[in-house]
Each structure stands twice: as structure tokens, then as C-alpha cells.
Amino acid sequence: MDLKTFCRSLPKIELHAHLTGSLSDATVLRLLHAKRQEGVVDLPDSAEVVLKRGHNRTLKECFEVFRILHCLTDNLVALRTITRDVIREFVEDNVQYLELRTTPKVIIGKMTKEQYIETVLDVIGEEMKANITIRLLLSVDRARGVDDAWDTLRVTKQYMSQEKYKNLICGLDISGNPNVGDLCDYIPVLEAARKDGLKLAVHVAEVLNEKETLHVLKSGLVSRVGHGSYIHHKCGGTHEMVNLVKNFSIPIEICISSNIKSGTVKSISDHHFQHWWKEGHPVIICTDDKGVFNTSLSEEFQMCAETFKLTHDDLCELCLCAVDSTFLPRNERDELRKTMQQKLQHLR
């Protein structure tokens, strides 16, 4: 079996996918059509920007794209559509378990954070079938300030305590433009979230920021690191950071296309994946924003295998080990591991 087919056939686990960043061209075109029907006329330029797929974009440009995508998804009907489309595309790519993350938004007259979360959770409930399990992480955008983060935590707790939804929310994510705001300011929110039983996936060291990275790692609150490009001492980080990640056994969510295309990592041969992998530290291959970076989880696996000379067995191992980094409770993890083992058996 050639590598491309093999990567597509792998039963995969996706742990770092931002909802709005995951929108495919087809979905964006549908949203644009809906906006035009509404009579919104100033869209063609934005569409061109959004659809410039495969192009490298600086982080600053990525955040401009998110702003445009957020304008296209500023209502509950669009939110339903995108959640459903993104989930189905992950199913299509043979993703067995998906932890989707999104930032609940308030748009006056159109949606509250409560309605945002409820809509996403409802679609997740509808789309969960035998071939996929889905959980939700609510994202805190570090550019929106600490008050907004507290508010997101408040609403998250509200939904965690509802019988209908409580098992679907598995954690909190902190993301947003890493060049804006200071993660250290969010430590009290992280502490409160942990006390409330939420696991924490935090974007750490996506760009070089020694003070912030050390402070957050030392807090011992982080359950998974997003990106972590500047943690390893061979990639601009320090031995102290590596020791913290290892001592706290914090798995690292690896998003290669995102890092290369946004220019936060110079080239794939410099990517930190290789160091953690060689040292046997838990790493999970993820897409980050499959739409914005024009990729898929299968393609991320393929690229990783080609660059770092991974065998089919290595790839199976990466899929299986990802189970231990999920935010599922132990019994559900065991179930998932069994399913993954069965499916992988046919491939080995």
C-alpha cells in the first residue's frame, strides 16, 4: 500500500482542530453565497483572501483570515452548518476520535455565548455515530482579555452541569494570537478551570517567549501543550523547559503545516517533532486549521512520515499512543484504545 493510501486508511485521532480554521473551500463558498443572498455586497475581496489556499501566510495574515471567517459565521445558522461540515470532513478522513475546539462568541442581536455553545454541542450530539466520537474544548482567546476568559469559564461550567451536555465538554483551550496579550495573566482562570474538573490544552511557545513559556509550564496546570515550537533546547527553548514538560508528562500537539506555513518554524527539517519523537515523549499529529492551511490529518501524517522517515509501524504507534493524550475519562479511553487496536490490526 502506498504511503498516501496508508495514511488515509489509518484510524486517526485529532486533538487540535479549531472549528473556524477548519472550514473547507466548499463551506466557505456556501457561506459567501448565503451572505450575498442576505444582500451583503462587500464580500468578493474577502472571499479571495480566504480562498487563497496553500499560500504561506504570516501569523498576522492568518488572524486577518480568521476575522473574515468570523464575519461569515456570525449567526447560528452558519454555526450549525460549519460544525456539521467540519465534523463530516474529519469522518471522511477516517478520524475516529475528534476533540474540536472553538471560541464562544457574542454577537449582539445574533447570538450569546450560551447559544453558541449550545448550537455546537447540539450538532456534535447529532453527528456522533458509530464511526466517530467527538468532544468539545471551549477556547479562550488571549487577545480578548481576562474578563472574557472568566465569562467563557462561567458559561462552560453551566453546560458541563447539564445532564444533556456534560459529557461532551472535555476541557478548555487557550489560543489566539500569541503576539497579543500575556498568558501569565490567565493563570487564575486556568487554576479555577482545573478545580472545576476541566483539562487544559494551552497554546504555549508557538512563538519565542521565554518568560511566558516558563511561567505557564511551571504552573503545572497544563494538560497538553499546543505547538510548543520553542520549548525544546534544540529549537530555541531551554533544558529547564524540556525538563518541566517531561516531569509533568505533558503531551505536545504537533501542527506541522500550520507552523511552516505561518512561518513560526523555519522549515520542516527544523521541526521540533523529531526531537520529542526520538526521545519517546508523547506527541500527537494534528491539523490546527485544516482549511486555512489547506491540509488534512492524513496529509499531516504523510508529510511527517516522509520527512522523518517514519515506518508504517511508527505511524500506527502514533495513532494508538494518541489515545493516552485524549481528555476522555479512563473507561472511555480504554474503549477507544480497543477500537483503535482492532482497526490498526488490519493495517499492520
Instruction: Establish if 27 lies at the interface with ligand 6MZ (CB under 6 A).
Output: no
Q: Which of 125, 151, 156, 120 is closest to 138 using CA atoms?
A: 156
What Å distances lie between residue 44 and 53, 74, 83, CA to CA? 15, 17, 24
Closest contact distance (angstroms) between CB of 302 and ligand 6MZ is 20
Report phi then psi at 317, rounded to 5. -60, -40
Instruction: Establish if 258 lies at the interface with ligand 6MZ (CB under 6 A).
Output: yes
**Interface residue with ligand 6MZ, options 13, 17, 62, 204 (CB under 6 A):** 62
Task: In whole angstroms, give the CA distance from residue 169 to residue 156.
Answer: 8
Task: In whole angstroms, give the CA distance from residue 36 to residue 195.
Answer: 46
Contacts of 187 (CB under 8 A, 6+ apart): 215, 216, 219, 221
Instruction: Establish if 176 lies at the interface with ligand 6MZ (CB under 6 A).
Output: yes
Closest contact distance (angstroms) between CB of 86 and ligand 6MZ is 9
Instruction: Establish if 141 lies at the interface with ligand 6MZ (CB under 6 A).
Output: yes
Q: Is 206 a catalytic residue?
A: yes
Cell representation of residue 226: 499546543
* Residues 267-286 as x/- pattern, contact with ligand 6MZ by CB under 6 A: --------------------
When the beta carbons of 20 and 96 are compared against ligand 6MZ, the nearer one is 20
Beta bridge partners of 134: 98
Beta bridge partners of 226: 203, 253
Report phi then psi at 334, rounded to 5. -60, -40
Contacts of 332 (CB under 8 A, 6+ apart): 133
In degrees, rounded to 5, the angle at the alpha carbon of residue 47 between the alpha carbons of residues 261 and 303 is 25
Report phi then psi at 335, rounded to 5. -60, -50
Closest contact distance (angstroms) between CB of 61 and ligand 6MZ is 10
Q: Which region among 14-22, 23-31, 146-154, 315-323 touches ligand 6MZ (by CB under 6 A)?
A: 14-22
Closest contact distance (angstroms) between CB of 333 and ligand 6MZ is 25
Instruction: Establish if 20 lies at the interface with ligand 6MZ (CB under 6 A).
Output: yes
* Residues 186-225 as x/- pattern, contact with ligand 6MZ by CB under 6 A: -----------------x--x-------------------
Strands 199-204 and 224-227: parallel
Q: Which region among 3-11, 123-131, 173-181, 233-241 touches ligand 6MZ (by CB under 6 A)?
A: 173-181
Instruction: Establish if 175 lies at the interface with ligand 6MZ (CB under 6 A).
Output: yes
Identified catalytic residue from 118, 206, 299, 300: 206
Q: Which residues are catalytic?
A: 206
Q: Under the rule (CB under 6 A), what is the footprint of ligand 6MZ?
A: 18-21, 62, 66, 102-103, 139, 141, 175-176, 178, 203, 206, 258, 262, 288-289
